[in-house]
Amino acid sequence: MRIALLTRRDVDSEGILEALERRAHRLLGRVSDRIADLAVGLADLNGPKGGVDRECQLQARLHDGRTLIVRARSTDFGRAIDGAMHKLLSRVLKLRKKTAGLRRQAVPLGRLAASA
């Protein structure tokens, strides 16, 4: 899983990439084999005014070609990153469960040839 950090000019990105990689491997480790690339966007929406304005957007490109985008906001970047990663983990697990169910329902090719 490759990680790219995209920030706006008002975000101090020094040290964030290392912490981001640690959090990604800790939180997304069990589904990292499904994620090819992870683009992380961080933004402070209203500058130094404060409030719930720190946003993290994750865009994950999966190995099967799908793209998942999730967002989370909080008062600091750490909580926003954790919230977005938890949402992404939930969506990847839900997608994995859905595709596994579809595979179980599929008709084997041998049965299709025999019925034709």
User: Has residue 13 been placed in a domain?
Assistant: yes
What b/e sequence results for 41-57 when a residue is b if at least 16 CB atoms lie within 10 Å of its CB, and e otherwise? bbbbeeeeeeeebbbbb
- Render pLDDT for 12-60 as a digit per residue (tens, 0 to 9): 666 777 888 888 889 888 898 899 999 999 888 887 777 778 899 999 9
Could you give the dihedral angle defined by the CA atoms of residues 91, 88, 83 and 52, in that order, rounded to the nearest 10 degrees? -100
**What does the pLDDT look like over 97-114, one tens digit per residue?**
887 766 666 666 666 556
CB-CB neighbours of 108 under 10 Å: 8
* CATH code of the domain containing 89: 3.30.160.100
* DSSP labels, 86-114: HHHHHHHHHHHHHHHHHHHHSPPHHHHHH
Question: What does the pLDDT read at residue 20?
Answer: 85
Report if residue 106 sits inside a domain: no
User: Is it the case that residue 5 has pLDDT exceeding 70?
Assistant: yes
Domains of the chain: total: 1
Q: Is residue 110 part of a domain?
A: no
Domain housing 97: 2-101
